[in-house]
Structure 1
Amino acid sequence: MQEFTLPGTAYLEAAAGALIKAAGNRKIWLFDAPMGAGKTTLIQAVCKALRLQGAFSSPTYSIVNEYHGPGGQAAYHMDLYRLKGLDEALDIGIEEYLYSGAYCFIEWPGLIEPLLPDGCFRIKMTIESDSERKILFL
C-alpha cells in the first residue's frame, strides 16, 4: 500500500501523476471515499494527465461519462452511487465497460464488487481537513 497526502488542490497534478505511475497497466480504478472527499476532482486531474478530452464532470445523474484521448483511447468515468442493485449495474452494461480494455474510473464501486476482475487499482481517500486529503492506493 502506498500513501500520498494531498495538502490542497494545487497538488492535484502531482497526485494524478503518482497514481498513474503506481497503477502501471491497470485500467480499472476503484475510488472509495466519503461524499465530498474529491473523487470526481481527482479523476478529472487523472483524465487531464492522460490527455483525455471531454467536459469532465460528475456522472452522478448520467451514471457514465465517456472521454476520448490520443489514438482513439477511451475512458469511462462512472458514479454508481444512485444504483439500487447489481441488476441495475448489469442493465447499464457494466460488464462491457469493465472488459473493454479502456480506462474505467469508478466511484462507489462496492455495488459491483462481484463483477470486478482481479487486479483492479484501488484508491481510498480520507478527509483530513477542509483542504487536505489522504490518498491510499494499492
Structure 2
Amino acid sequence: MATSLLTLTIPDLAALPAAAAQVRAALAGHTIICFEGEMGAGKTTFIKALGRELGISEEISSPTFALVNEYRTAADQPVYHFDFYRLDDPAEAEGIGASEYFDSGYLCLIEWPGRVEPLLPDHRLTLTLTVTGPSSRELKIEI
C-alpha cells in the first residue's frame, strides 16, 4: 500500500521551481522516481524543472522515441530519463537494458512506469500529477 509523503499544489508554471526544490529534498535515498499522470498533465515539464534543480544544464526533452535520455548533474552524475508511453511490452524495455539502468544507483526518472511495472524495483517514489485547472496541478509523492 502506498504511503503519501507530500502533496503540493502548483498553481501555475511560475510555481514549478519551488515545487521542484521541494521534490528534490524528498528524493533523499531514492533513485527510482516514477511519474504518473494523464497525457498532458505536465510530467515532462516537471522533469525539466527538477532537472534545473539538479543542476542539469542541457535541454531536457521527452525521450518518447529514444526511450531513454541521459543527462549530467552539476556534480557530473548521470540522470536517466525514460518515457515508456510507446511500449507495448516490458520486454521492449528489457531490450534497452532498463533493468541495468534501474540497478545502477543513479537517478532514473520514469514516465509511464505502468508499462514496465514488472521491471521496477519495489523501493521507488511515485509522483502523480493531476490536472486541477488550465495551468494548475496537484503533485502527490508516494512511497
Q: Structure 2: which 5+ runs fail to align?
A: none
Q: Which residue in the other structure is 2:19 paired with?
A: 15
Q: Which residue in the other structure is 1:37 paired with?
A: 41
Q: Distance in 2 between matches of 1:8 and 1:59?
A: 24
Q: Which residue in the other structure is 2:89 paired with?
A: 85
* TM-score, with length taken from structure 1: 0.95
TM superposition outliers: structure 1 runs of 4+ over 4 Å:
none
Aligned residues: 138
**Which sits farther off after the overlay, 34-43 or 116-125?**
116-125
1:124 aligned onto 2:97: no
What are the Cα deviations for residues 30-81 of structure 1, in whole angstroms up to 9, with x where unaligned?
Answer: 0000000100010011111010232211111111111012343000111000
Q: Structure 1: which 5+ runs fail to align?
A: none
Q: Distance in 1 between matches of 2:135 and 2:59?
A: 24
1:54 aligned onto 2:50: no
